[in-house]
Structure 1
Amino acid sequence: MSGATPPASDGPADREVAVAGAAMTRFGERDERLFGLLVEAATGCLREAGVDPTAVDGCYVTESGGSYDGGQGLAGRLAGDLGLVPAYATCIEQTSAAGAAGVHAAARAVRAGAYDCALVVGAEKMTHAPTEVVTDRVSAVTHPAAHRHGVTVPAFAGMTARRYLDRFDAPRAALARVAVKNHRHGLANPKAHLRTAVDVETVLDSPIVADPLRLYDFCPISDGAAAVLVTSRSWARERGLPHATLAGVAGATDTHVVHERPDLTTLGAVEEAGERAFEQAGVAPGDVDLLEVHDMFTILELLQLEALGFADRGTAWRLAEGGETARDGRLPVNTSGGLKSKGHPIAASGIAQVVECFEQLTDRAGERQVDADTAVACNVGGFGNCAIVSVLESTA
């Protein structure tokens, strides 16, 4: 795959990296504007960690590029309003992988010794725009030639789901079970957008959006924000901050023109990013206790599990069918409710995945808590155009 992130260097400047604070707003339909959501998540993160704003020496504000709300200069404005000055502040745009792109940038800067404490915060305000406008802006990530002909990201999802079901003889109900499971997980998340239970019949009877995918195979359009503190482990230890080690984080890209990929059912960027992140962390799929994956569509959850090595090609649907990815299953996936239930304020989603991993690994997940020492987050841009995988480990 082209554009893969090179492995972190082994030079003397390298330091262990940690996530030492995390917070998110309630996801859903919010009255606040974009900047207000950024402030809410950022101040919540600093407050929960007990870190003074003056201790932050780097600030990354993540943007999706959708221009749903807000303006320019968000990073500098946020730094000024929060009292982070003179910290370096910048914005990072990487479509729906923007959140993890911010974590990736902060982790590399901390590892290299540029910062001791970096704040990463992302938000999206979307619900004020009509659904067709949001869909069009999301689909602008597709290649211009495809976009001009009306091809949307949901259309790609439908075509891929049809190919997967036919090729691997998977039952349509298996995709529905992904939605049912993630809605059930979302019931235990007080900040989730959709806190409602659904059954397989409800999913299969909902309106068709992109055949064979129906309404309940898609995540909701959401407002919200999330933030994390990325620090050196020594900095967190010195201050007695509960933290999780960010043992590996890597990104990669795939062919931008989706129909030119050799196989629609293979997420090459996820494969590359996963291999590199696992190598950095010194772990294998069998060592992982918990995953947060980018289930913008139900089919994406299955494709990521296969690309990351948690299931053989064409078999991840069996994990959903057998309940193995449920919170009480062998391999809990999307204990937060995932994008499907928790919601998908685009630039915040990758950060919110890390928030869930942090809360699970530091025993702060409440009713959602599972027994986990190693967690993985996978944030996807577009329909597999890029991906960033993070591996976090408990320090308890």
Structure 2
Amino acid sequence: MEISSGNSNMVLVAGAEKMRTAPTDVVTDLVSMMSHPDVEYPSGATMPSLGALFARLYMQKYDVKPEHLAMVAVKNHSNAMKNPFAQFKKEVTLEQLIGPGSESFNPYVAEPLRLYDMSPITDGGAALLLADLDTALSYTKKPVILEGIGESTDALALQDRDDPTELKAVRLSAEKAYRMSGIKPKEINVAEVHDAFTVLEIAISEEIGFFKKGEGKLALQNGITKINGEKPINTSGGLKARGHPLGATGLAQATEITWQLQGLADQRQVKDASIGFTVNMGGFGSNAVSIVYRRY
């Protein structure tokens, strides 16, 4: 709005979070304050416990298995190995995550979610320069165009939603971004989505129209969401392995897509990527912002 109104021709947008200096229980409590202040938080609900509630219901409804959640972690840790800015540069295997004796390496945090189903506590920052096209072209031959933006909200408490296995704010924000851009989900070449919990990558891939309900697990299983697949998701490593510094996460997603569309993603580069997508959400899906990007 600042640029389109003509008030400015270039704007710096930055975000950062420093989380690792506080004990884990303190960080968990602070983050949990994003839950409903009268219903969920006073009852002791944490984001991991809400994630587990969502996961159990979603997994029962769509026959998603623990190995599908583990596949998300394996894929995103592998992607993070190729990202010099990722927090975790450590590959993991299905055997380590869900094999015999895996409880010591990958203990349950809130069943059915285990340690490696969770995004980590992260320090980090990200920044973008936004400009009108003429100004952008005076600095780079490869500007990335923001073609569509959508924002939506949902009930704060999971219990107040029509279906707690749906992420309505994510779906509606994506639909708005597609409508504004004139771009369809099938045209997206690469996406960064909010995988604060592994189950969310699968669920969100369906909400944003990449796959039909219940088929996100199959796309994952068949390698479609890998870097060299038909629909790469979270090439950066995602929140799961790149990290989740809350105030910087949305911009980190946008940065990854910018690099992908500019051909600057090195070993994790998606071939011929020209259209990208991001969706980030707050709370447990109580609000979401989706953006469609296009290579100039």
Picking from 278, 288, 292, the partner of 1:377 is 278
Give the letter for the 1:132 counterpart.
D
Structure-2 residue corresponding to 1:188 = 82
| TM-score, reference length from structure 1 | 0.71
The offset of 1:111, in angstroms, is 2.2
Contact 1:164 1:314 in 2 (8 A): no
The offset of 1:207, in angstroms, is 0.5
Structure-2 residue corresponding to 1:393 = 294
Describe how 1:281-292 pairs up with structure 2 within 5 A.
281-292=181-192
Structure-1 residue corresponding to 2:30 = 137
Give the letter for the 1:253 counterpart.
T
Matched, 1:211 2:111: yes
The offset of 1:125, in angstroms, is 0.6
Deviations 1:131-167 (A, max 9, x none): 1110111010111121001011111110111111111
Q: Which runs of 5+ in 2 are unaligned?
A: none
- Cα distance in 1 between the residues matched to 2:224 and 2:5: 39
Describe how 1:10-89 pairs up with structure 2 within 5 A.
none
Matched, 1:120 2:13: yes
Structure-1 residue corresponding to 2:65 = 171
Contact 1:203 1:217 in 2 (8 A): no
Deviations 1:273-306 (A, max 9, x none): 1011111111000110000001110011112111
Picking from 164, 172, 189, the partner of 1:272 is 172
What SS does the aligned partner of 1:110 have?
A: coil
Give the letter for the 2:180 counterpart.
Q
Structure-2 residue corresponding to 1:148 = 42
Q: Which runs of 5+ in 1 are unaligned?
A: 1-107
What SS does the aligned partner of 2:2 have?
A: helix
Q: Report how many aligned residue pairs link the two structures.
A: 288
Contact 2:3 2:132 in 1 (8 A): yes
- Cα distance in 1 between the residues matched to 2:264 and 2:204: 26
- Name the Cα RMSD after superposition: 1.0
- Cα distance in 1 between the residues matched to 2:201 and 2:164: 14
Contact 1:203 1:215 in 2 (8 A): no
- Cα distance in 2 between the residues matched to 1:361 and 1:161: 32
Q: Percent of counterpart pairs with the same letter?
A: 40
The offset of 1:114, in angstroms, is 2.5
Structure-1 residue corresponding to 2:194 = 294
Give the letter for the 1:159 counterpart.
L
Deviations 1:243-293 (A, max 9, x none): 100111121111111111111111110111101111111100011000000
- Cα distance in 1 between the residues matched to 2:211 and 2:192: 15
- Cα distance in 2 between the residues matched to 1:338 and 1:300: 11
The offset of 1:242, in angstroms, is 2.7
Following TM superposition, where does structure 1 have runs of at least 4 consecutive aligned residues deviating by more than 6 angstroms? none
